[in-house]
Amino acid sequence: MLDTWWLRVHVPVEIKTGSEDEDILKAVSQLGGYLRQVLREQMDRRFALGLVFCDTLLSVWLCDRSGLLGTLRSIDVHKVSPLYLWLLC
């Protein structure tokens, strides 16, 4: 059984193969659980960032003690320029 050491996690990433709306919602729900666990284990942490990859779509999520905030539309990583992705970081 794989045991996760949540004190060492910086940015959780959830990767799914489908790009339908329900696949993305399942991935975001799973990522939300990971982000909640990171904030639960790391008491001095104020927020946590997370990424969801569904097929070629990327969405960025920010979780803090008050809730979860994410991108409105997913970013297709094959259609945007690398400079745009660099500016997001």
pLDDT given at position 7: 84
* Distance (Å, whole) CA 6 – CA 10: 9
- Do 14 and 50 contact (CB within 8 A), yes or no? yes
Query: Per this entry, what is the length of the chain?
Result: 89
pLDDT in tens, 35-87: 999 999 999 999 999 999 998 999 999 999 999 999 988 888 888 777 666 66
Residue-wise pLDDT for 6-42, tens only, equals: 888 899 999 999 888 888 899 999 999 999 999 999 9
Question: Distance between CA atoms of 7 and 13, rounded to whole angstroms?
Answer: 16
pLDDT-derived band at 88, boundaries 50, 70, 90? low
